[in-house]
Amino acid sequence: MKTIKIRNVELGAGVPKTIVPIVAKTKADILAKAEEITKLPADLVEWRADFYEDLFNTPKLLETLKALRGVLKETPILFTIRTKPEGGEVSPSFEDYSAANLAVAKSGDADLADVEMFWGNTDWNAKASDVSVKLVDEIHKAGCLVVGSRHNFSATPSASEIVTTLKNQKAAGADMPKAAVMPKSKGDVLAVISASVEFGKDSDRPYLTISMGPLGMMSRVACELSGSCMTFGAAGQVSAPGQIQVGELKDMLTRIHNAQAGA
């Protein structure tokens, strides 16, 4: 599998990486949280811009992003607009969603953009939406990488469906496919890990799988087993159920990696 090098972080190699979300509403609070994160062992930062009060005011969006880059320096930034159908805070038109993502990609201040790959389609066996494929291509042309994404906050699809949705994201050009689902049983958690292992057998790129909630917490530290290249930790406030504080998470990931390596 080819790894992805973003600034000083190599995804798909070594200890699975930690990524911490910022979910603040105002520019001041976003930058304050970023300052806090610089003191923590986070490898990447996700800006959950769907929480931001000026998300669709492009000049203010880019101004805040530039300030965020200034605080985080060489820490990679994943820019994310999570829509309500996939567990987020906003319900934009695709035109507004696309425009914001492209403006950010062209700015050069974000390293990765999250793209919801199945816009308007809830079928986990479906191919990526045409509009999402086009957006991925445009973001790539702007020089930014893409985390493809698909979420289900109410249930866990079958392992075969999870594998299919990851493969379809890969086929649509996502640099890092992602699937996050909600378990209702221990079997659901195992289905996610099984699907992740199965996809990883033929994957030529890093990928990310998550079983959410307290029941799925085990998946967040099972990256060495599942093949997931990184996992989300928290710095205080969480952006999804089941997240572990990043310091504790980093320690667990390192211990597991060293044990697997025979250290």
C-alpha distances in angstroms, 260 versus 35, 89, 108, 127, 256? 33, 39, 37, 36, 6
Handedness of CA 207, 211, 216, 217 (dihedral sign): positive
- Separation between Cα atoms, residue 161 and residue 163, nearest integer Å: 5
User: In a 10 Å sphere around its CB, with 0-12 CB exposed, 13-18 middle and 19+ buried, how is residue 160 labelled?
Assistant: middle
Tens-place pLDDT, residues 86-115: 999 999 999 999 999 999 999 999 999 999
User: What phi and psi values does residue 43 have, to the nearest 5 degrees?
Assistant: -85, -35
Q: What is the pLDDT of residue 238?
A: 67
The torsion region of residue 173 among left (phi > 0), alpha (psi -120 to 50) and beta comes to: left
Residues 155, 165: Cα–Cα separation, whole Å: 15
Give catalytic status of residue 140 as yes or no: no
Helices (H), 142-185: 159-171
151 is catalytic: yes
- Single-letter amino acid code for the residue at 49: A
Angstrom distance (rounded) from CA 223 to CA 213: 16
The one-letter amino acid at 188? D
Measured CA to CA, the distance from residue 177 to residue 104 in angstroms comes to 20
Structural domains counted in the chain: 1
**149 sits in which H/E element:** strand 145-152
Distance CA(224)–CA(257), nearest Å, equals 6
At 63-87, the pLDDT tens digits run 999 999 999 999 999 999 999 999 9
CATH number of the domain encompassing residue 244 = 3.20.20.70
Work out whether strand 4-6 and strand 9-11 pair parallel, antiparallel, or are unpaired: antiparallel
For 135-178, write each residue's pLDDT tens digit: 999 999 999 999 999 999 999 999 999 999 999 999 999 999 99
- Tell me what the mean pLDDT of segment 192-217 comes to: 96
* Residue 221 lies in domain: 4-260
Residue 241 has pLDDT above 70, yes or no: no
Query: Where does residue 93 rank: exposed (0-12), middle (13-18), buried (19+ CB within 10 A)?
Result: exposed
Q: Which one from 17, 27, 33, 178 is the annotated catalytic residue?
A: 178
Residue percentage of the chain with pLDDT more than 70: 97
Q: Name the helix (H) or strand (E) containing 34.
A: helix 27-37
Catalytic residue among 27, 151, 170, 250: 151
Q: Yes or no: say if 49 and 55 are a contact pair by the CB < 8 Å rule.
A: yes
| Residue 242: per-residue pLDDT | 72
